[in-house]
Structure 1
Amino acid sequence: MSKLLRDHIEAISPLTDEEFAYILSHFKIKKLKKHAYLVQADDHVKYEYFVVKGCLKAFVVDADSGKEFIYQFGVEDWWMTDRDAFFKGVPATVNISCLEDCELLGITLEDRSKLGKELWKFEHFLQVKANLGYTSLQKRLQIMIKGNAKDRYEQFVRQYPHLIKRIPKTFIASYLGVSRETLSRLYNS
């Protein structure tokens, strides 16, 4: 379980065995079954989670229609949380549920900040990951604003080819902002 996290951090900041052991000591293991919720709207969000195994979806629900709008998936080697709730201490506005059985490593904001202050390598890792996350979000917003359904689908396939067979098409359609029927046409074209 810890090897994936170590490889993830060391892709940016190499660590000694002692440094990694200290970092790992601040994480808590969490295991959830398929369909379980990691976060539900209005929850207090104490942890940011590193996905060791499994697949999750983050979504909001329209209060009037009850329709789900998926804005993020999370698989191995990715991070998941309601970032606004985690960083600001406000109630969650999103839901995160498991599409598969999941194993996660969770860290509190306090421990995350403590490690960042104590280990410059960890702080550097967090900074690089945040910048990569911002650029990924920028690309997603641009394709959602400027791209048509085909553009969004092709971008998803290029960026996440490993998710096409793993995630149900209904959820991919929601993520892309298209109907299931439109996605089927794009998938078969």
Structure 2
Amino acid sequence: MTQYDLLRQHIASICPLSDSEWDYVAQHFTIRKLRKHQFLVQKGEMVPCEFWIIKGLVKTYAIDCDGKEHILQFAMEEYWTSDFHAFQNQVPACMYMDCIEDSEFFCLKLEDREKICHEIPAMANFFRIKANYGYIALQQRIMSLLTETAEERYNNLIKKLPRLIQRVPKKLLASYLGVTRETLSRLKS
């Protein structure tokens, strides 16, 4: 199965496209490969694309005035990711995104996304649904940080994303959960 087959299957799981519609949509995506520790997005830079992860793992984070890293998201295969505020509004990024593993992405420019959504209504529906899912996930993450204990957050992460736990270094996992590495070690035992 090619990378384009994977993307078509992903889109078809929500909004099936005819062959001619798919051919039109596919020509607007480009592939980008990055190695572990390379930046997909850096704070202060323009963000011309949103990204669909073919393979690999990316962390999205901000750094506070004390130099502490705050991880907003881990994104892996079949996730859409970007600094969506910067991408949608065509302003400089306010966060960083870098690869935890060697990674491969489909890139879609804003003008190309708008074009395919205008030309193929099913794609507008696809992106609407994906945005809703992303918004729901963000709300759930915020609520978990506000209302759950560290142990509850850790246990829920294991249930929701067991593959992620195996791929993310403990230091990064602790940052994502909002705990120290020592606390994470106690939670895991």
Q: TM-score of the superposition, structure 2-length normalised? A: 0.96
Structure 1 residue 19, shift from structure 2 partner: 1.3
Tell me if 1:92 matches 2:93. Answer: yes
Q: Which residue of 2 aligns with 1:152?
A: 153
Q: Which residue of 2 aligns with 1:27?
A: 29
Runs of 4+ that moved beyond 6 A: none
1:77 aligns to what SS in structure 2? coil
Q: Which residue of 1 aligns with 2:13?
A: 11
Structure 1 residue 32, shift from structure 2 partner: 0.4
Q: Which residue of 2 aligns with 1:128?
A: 129
Q: Which residue of 2 aligns with 1:138?
A: 139
Residues in 2 aligned to 1:20 and 1:167: alpha-carbon distance in whole angstroms: 34
Q: Which residue of 1 aligns with 2:182?
A: 181
Structure 1 residue 171, shift from structure 2 partner: 0.8
Query: Identity rate of aligned residues, in percent?
Result: 44
Residues in 1 aligned to 2:136 and 2:40: alpha-carbon distance in whole angstroms: 25
Residues in 1 aligned to 2:105 and 2:186: alpha-carbon distance in whole angstroms: 35
2:58 aligns to what SS in structure 1? strand
Structure 1 residue 77, shift from structure 2 partner: 0.2
2:138 partner amino acid: L
1:164 aligns to what SS in structure 2? helix
Q: Which residue of 2 aligns with 1:2?
A: 4
Q: TM-score of the superposition, structure 1-length normalised? A: 0.96
Residues in 2 aligned to 1:162 and 1:75: alpha-carbon distance in whole angstroms: 10
1:34 partner amino acid: K
Structure 1 residue 11, shift from structure 2 partner: 0.7
**Aligned-residue RMSD, C-alpha:** 0.8
1:131 partner amino acid: N
1:115 partner amino acid: I
Residues in 2 aligned to 1:44 and 1:30: alpha-carbon distance in whole angstroms: 17
Residues in 2 aligned to 1:66 and 1:141: alpha-carbon distance in whole angstroms: 22
Q: C-alpha offsets along residues 11-54 of structure 1, whole Å, 9 cap, x if unaligned?
A: 10011222112111001111101100000000100000000011
Runs of 5+ consecutive residues of structure 2 not aligned to the other structure: none
1:60 partner amino acid: A
Q: Which residue of 2 aligns with 1:44?
A: 46
Q: Which residue of 2 aligns with 1:170?
A: 171
Residues in 2 aligned to 1:22 and 1:168: alpha-carbon distance in whole angstroms: 40
Residues in 1 aligned to 2:10 and 2:173: alpha-carbon distance in whole angstroms: 26
The count of aligned residue pairs is 187
1:172 aligns to what SS in structure 2? helix
Residues in 1 aligned to 2:94 and 2:135: alpha-carbon distance in whole angstroms: 20
Q: Which residue of 1 aligns with 2:60?
A: 58
Runs of 5+ consecutive residues of structure 1 not aligned to the other structure: none
Q: C-alpha offsets along residues 120-179 of structure 1, whole Å, 9 cap, x if unaligned?
A: 111111111111111111111111101110111111111111111111111111111111
Structure 1 residue 66, shift from structure 2 partner: 1.0
